[in-house]
């Protein structure tokens, strides 16, 4: 039986061309190794003519050793083609600054990327047959890309976007959530949980309906004409009864949503 091994080292984030995402992961990795201060600020320089004490010399040598280890992690994160362009860099800070300058992009490029992401999020809608988890993954992927480019949408904006872009089969639960909950304090996780419960109930109802159809189909086989006529009459009556219930429910739902819109 597999068990968690406390001595397993975390994987070094590999640079895949997406600088902002990689830089966030790599910074966190280097912080966990207590090397980030060196990467960010570099090794403190010793002024010419200054004589260091034995303690200061030891500290300086320790810093140089840590910097070499930080460089090693950065080297392992890069493929050969990129590595060959930074081999002349002396310190981990030099490597980090070089990567940032080459791959982070200019302000104008970021602005254009953000504009494209805003449009993508604005036109995004849940697809027919798409699950709640799948749709949330698509929305959050765009929101996270926007955050990486300097624009944090926040929970409220994401929640509102999801609520107004679900498929029609979620209309009832969306209306219920908007009526019963404070959207300004509703988290993305809470919304996802509520929609998942509704989705599971709908799936369960569909399975029960399918089972009933199979059951009634089997009962019809082998019966005489008179029995089939009685069954058909019962089925028509049942269908009419359910149709009346559905129409009434839809009328109530439309009235509730219409009243909500008028109050809003």
Verify that 205 and 121 share a domain, yes or no.
Answer: yes
The domain tally of the chain equals: 2
Model-level pTM greater than 0.75? no
* Same-domain check for residues 194 and 112: yes
Rg (CA), the chain: 31
Instruction: Tell me which residues of the chain have a pLDDT lower than 50.
Output: 1-3, 223, 226, 229-231, 233, 236-237, 240-241, 243-252, 255, 262
Out of 103, 120, 139, a domain closes at: 103
In this structure, are 117 and 209 located in the same domain? yes
Q: Which residues contact 19 (CB under 8 A, 6 or more apart)?
A: 99, 100, 103, 104, 105
- 33-81 pLDDT tens trace: 999 999 999 998 877 778 888 898 899 899 999 999 999 999 999 999 8
In a domain, 228, yes or no: no
Give a yes or no: residue 187 inside a domain.
yes
| Structural domain that includes position 60 | 19-103
- The span from the CA of 3 to the CA of 157, in Å, is 41
């Amino acid at each position: 039986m597999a068990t968690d091994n406390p001595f397993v080292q975390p994987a070094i984030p590999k640079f895949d061309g997406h600088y902002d995402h990689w830089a966030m992961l790599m910074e966190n990795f280097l912080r966990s190794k207590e090397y980030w201060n060196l990467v960010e600020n570099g090794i403190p320089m010793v002024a010419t003519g200054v004589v260091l004490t034995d303690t200061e010399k030891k500290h300086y040598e320790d810093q140089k050793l840590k910097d070499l280890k930080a460089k090693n992690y950065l080297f392992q994160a890069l493929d050969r083609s990129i590595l060959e362009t930074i081999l002349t860099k002396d310190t981990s800070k030099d490597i980090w600054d070089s990567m940032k300058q080459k791959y982070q992009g200019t302000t104008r490029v970021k602005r254009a990327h953000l504009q494209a992401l805003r449009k993508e999020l604005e036109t995004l809608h849940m697809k027919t047959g798409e699950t709640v988890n799948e749709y949330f993954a698509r929305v959050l992927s765009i929101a996270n890309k926007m955050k990486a480019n300097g624009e944090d949408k926040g929970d409220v904006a994401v929640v509102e976007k999801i609520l107004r872009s679900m498929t029609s089969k979620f209309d009832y639960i969306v209306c219920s959530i908007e009526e019963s909950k404070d959207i300004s304090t509703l988290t993305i996780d809470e919304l996802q949980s509520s929609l998942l419960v509704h989705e599971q109930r709908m799936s369960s109802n569909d399975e029960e309906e399918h089972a009933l159809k199979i059951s009634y189909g089997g009962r019809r086989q082998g019966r005489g004409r008179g029995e089939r006529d009685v069954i058909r009459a019962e089925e028509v009556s049942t269908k009419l009864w359910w149709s009346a219930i559905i129409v009434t429910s839809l009328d109530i739902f439309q009235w509730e949503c219409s009243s909500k819109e008028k109050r809003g």
